[in-house]
Amino acid sequence: MSSVINIKEASSVPPLGDQGALYVIKIGGNVIDDEVKLSSFLQDFAAIEGKKVLVHGGGKLATRLAEQMGVQQQMVEGRRITDAETLKIVTMVYAGYINKNIVAQLQRYDCNAIGLSGADGNAIKAHKRAGAERDYGFAGDVDEVNAELINTLIEADNTIVLAPITHDKKGQLLNTNADTIAQETAKALSKLYEVDLIYTFEKKGVLTNIDDDESYIKQLDPSSYEGYKEKGTISSGMIPKLDNAFAALNFGVKKVIIGKSDELQQIIEGTSGTTIVND
């Protein structure tokens, strides 16, 4: 039986796998933009014992390169409109330079890494986004994550580094949100492993006061989440991220943690970040 998971057809929570623990970690774009922070993060990531997958976005490099090439960029509510020329640029930057730079640095830290886009080995199949009020161009929404392929590579003692470029298996590359790739990868692999999904960014976690980094919530369950939303403590851009976190838990991911990129080891140890759990 294939381990490719069709997320549209999944309707029940699969049992946790018996192949041990696995971390799926998303690296924030602000880290990618800073060579010193990136090197420090990757050294911390390489030091994590056990099986792990790293998912990255592109930071601001694609935007800068597009400007240098005279390709106008359109952003709507933080989302990039991916026209044909922009798709070429983000593919070069995300699946090319950034992905291979991360892989090379992980090799430096004795972490045997393999970089993949969604097209490599049919790792992640997606479709062009449709039905939205605005046409986002060649933006892709995930249909399938090839858990069998990723599992085979992991069990051969490789660390997978996933770029946010997918494909539709009809020859078309697509630009896909890295947070979504991390979530769907964690969900797919939860059939095989006990998966911890970790999102790292510039804050220590989900904050009750956006101006106070120490006001992060240590643990968040569905009932307390609803309470914070009703009070307006949690709002705007954090809501879709948390909705996705709870969706991952409902599918079988063991836990989701949101925390600061330069505190990765503390996040792993459970002494930093916001842990998202079910009741």
The domain ranges of the chain are 29-193, 195-279
Q: What would the two tokens of residue 246 be? A: 């709870």
User: What pLDDT digit, counting tens, does each position of 30-88 carry?
Assistant: 899 999 999 999 999 999 999 999 999 987 888 899 889 998 888 776 677 899 999 99
The stretch 257-275 carries a mean pLDDT of 95
Mean pLDDT of 3-15: 42
Where does 29-193 sit in CATH, by number? 3.40.1160.10
Residue showing tokens 């699969």: 14
The pLDDT assigned to 18 comes to 59
Is residue 9 pLDDT above 80, yes or no? Answer: no
State the burial class of residue 269 (Cβ atoms within 10 Å of its Cβ: 0-12, 13-18, 19+). exposed
Reported as a single tens digit per residue, the pLDDT across 161-180 is: 999 999 999 999 999 999 99
Inter-CA distances, 76 with 73, 82, 163, 199, 215, Å: 10, 11, 22, 23, 30
Predicted structure pTM score = 0.89
